[in-house]
Amino acid sequence: MSSAAHRPRVLVVDDNTAFLDNLQDLLGDEGYEVDLADSCRAARARAKSGFDVALVDLRLPDGDGTALAAELKQELPESEVVLLTGFATLETAVAAVRAGACAYLMKPCAPQELLLTVEQAMRQVRLQAEKRELARRAQMTERLAAVGTMTAGLSHEIRNPLNAAALQLTVLERRVRKLPDTQQEALIEPLNLVRDEIRRLDHILEDFLQFARPRDFSPAPVEVEPLLRRVVDLLAGEAEARKVRLELVGPVPGSRVAGEEERLRQVLINLVLNALAATPEGGEVRISTGEDEHQIWVTVDDTGPGVPVALRDRIFEPFFTTKAQGSGLGLSIVHSIVTQHGGGLEVAEAPGGGARFVVRLPKAASVPGPAVR
Ligand SMILES: Nc1ncnc2c1ncn2[C@@H]1O[C@H](COP(=O)(O)OP(=O)(O)OP(=O)(O)O)[C@@H](O)[C@H]1O
Ligand SMILES: [Mg+2]
């Protein structure tokens, strides 16, 4: 989930194309993912998709590298910036420190020196990420405990009247069935609707209770294709109402993950509902899958505004929402289910600029016997 999980990403900002090419090769060979920008404007655009370390030249055609460094640091405080300059003066060095740069390199510099500086900056980024992750987990645990206590009480209070309503509904249904056929017809449909809604409420309560006391987990092989088709069928109406295309791209028939079907359906429904809600009319939500020897991943892409890099960790916290009507529990439920499955959840940018959520789950075959956890 955190930025430390992917290949370290370096953004190089310099207007000298030969220098950019050299750095792309040098850093690329060392396993870095390299992004290039030849101006402040290009750098701002590139920075939107995130970076770990930025190497910024002091002199750029459309602005000052020090100001850009300060801007990037403010936008992505968890990343590090290294300033590059052809001629160092005391003033530029002081300005670099003020801008929040972690290092200052003189050009031309030896490849070894450059790599060492980037590696040190990366170490700093990782350390900070670890610290943040620890703090986040502590906060999440605290919040989950609070949610647990509250929901256990609330669910109990709601469940009683709900059960009573379900019971009365059965009585009503029986009486209706005794009526002549012609009278039954008009009554059966609304009755079914009420029953469906009660069932839905019951499921929501189940979700809340899952928080309060996570159930035992007994994974079994779950076939991915029917699971995804079911989710698409369930949400087709919602997509249509929002005038958003909901597409499922070629899951491999026969691929199976180890898990609990209903919980996994809940994961996907939450992700697709979020994607549908974020996508404007005429847009598209696309579910696709991939797999390797051990894992299967399901990707949900949308054509909405995407999740700003600064919010990418926070959206998984319970109660974090940007919606007037949202509970902010959706993604934290998703996260807890995926973690329970021994999988992973990542958020990124979709190729079209929208949001991308990726759920990774262990393949059925990779579970050693009936797992007990
Ligand atoms: N596909 C997406 N595109 C853009 N932002 C998203 C997307 N999915 C989630 N988010 C952001 O993450 C926040 C948290 O999502 P989460 O599902 O946890 O809660 P919610 O959708 O706000 O409320 P709930 O799911 O409880 O109704 C959302 O409010 C939204 O800001
Ligand atoms: Mg949601």
- 210 pLDDT band, cuts 50/70/90, is low
Query: Is residue 340 over pLDDT 70?
Result: yes
For the CA of 275, the nearest atom of ligand 1: 1
For domain 135-212, give the CATH number. 1.10.287
CA 333 / ligand 1 centre spacing (Å): 12
* Residues 84-94: tens digit of each pLDDT: 988 777 788 78
Ligand 1 pocket, residues with Cβ under 6 angstroms: 270, 274-275, 278, 302, 304, 307, 315, 320-323, 326-332, 355
The pairing of beta strand 33-37 with beta strand 9-13: parallel
Query: Is residue 373 over pLDDT 70?
Result: no
Segment 46-68 shows an average pLDDT of: 94
For the CA of 325, the nearest atom of ligand 1: 27
For the CA of 316, the nearest atom of ligand 1: 18
Beta carbons of 38 and 15 less than 8 angstroms apart: yes
CA 230 / ligand 2 centre spacing (Å): 19
Indicate which ligand has the atom closest to the C-alpha of 332: 1
Half-sphere exposure of 355 (CA within 13 A, CB side): 24
Query: Yes or no: is domain 220-366 CATH 3.90.1300.10?
Result: no
Indicate which ligand has the atom closest to the C-alpha of 285: 1
Query: Is residue 367 over pLDDT 50?
Result: no
Indicate which ligand has the atom closest to the C-alpha of 334: 1
* Residues 20-44: tens digit of each pLDDT: 999 999 999 999 999 999 999 999 9
**From 204, 274, 299, 311, mutation site for ligand 1 pocket: most ligand atoms within 8 A of C-beta:** 274
Closest residue CA from atom 28 of ligand 1: 321
Beta carbons of 99 and 83 less than 8 angstroms apart: yes
Token code pair at residue 59: 């002199």
CA dist 371 and 368 (Å) reads 7
For the CA of 318, the nearest atom of ligand 1: 18
CA 61 / ligand 1 centre spacing (Å): 39
203 or 126: whose pLDDT is higher?
126
- 252 pLDDT band, cuts 50/70/90, is confident
For the CA of 271, the nearest atom of ligand 1: 8
CA 291 / ligand 1 centre spacing (Å): 26
Q: How do the domains of the chain map onto residue ranges?
A: 3-133, 135-212, 220-366
CATH architecture of 3-133: 3-Layer(aba) Sandwich (3.40)
């609330």: which residue's tokens? 154
* Count of helix runs (H) and strand runs (E) in the chain: 9, 14
Closest residue CA from atom 19 of ligand 1: 328
Residues across the chain = 373
Could you tell me the CA-to-CA distances from 151 to 111, 148, 297, 326 in Å, in that order?
Answer: 57, 5, 31, 16
Beta carbons of 343 and 359 less than 8 angstroms apart: yes
The residues that bridge with 246 in the sheet, in sequence order, are 285
* Residues 85-134: tens digit of each pLDDT: 887 777 887 888 888 999 889 888 899 999 999 999 999 999 988 888 88
CA dist 158 and 41 (Å) reads 54
Could you tell me the CA-to-CA distances from 108 to 23, 37, 63, 85 in Å, in that order?
Answer: 12, 19, 21, 9
Token code pair at residue 366: 């990779």
Indicate which ligand has the atom closest to the C-alpha of 323: 1
CA dist 213 and 149 (Å) reads 9
Query: Is residue 356 over pLDDT 90?
Result: yes
Predicted confidence at residue 137, as pLDDT, reads: 75
CA 120 / ligand 2 centre spacing (Å): 38
Q: With residue 16 as reference, give the H or E element that holds it.
A: none
At 322 the three-state DSSP class reads coil
Beta carbons of 307 and 315 less than 8 angstroms apart: yes
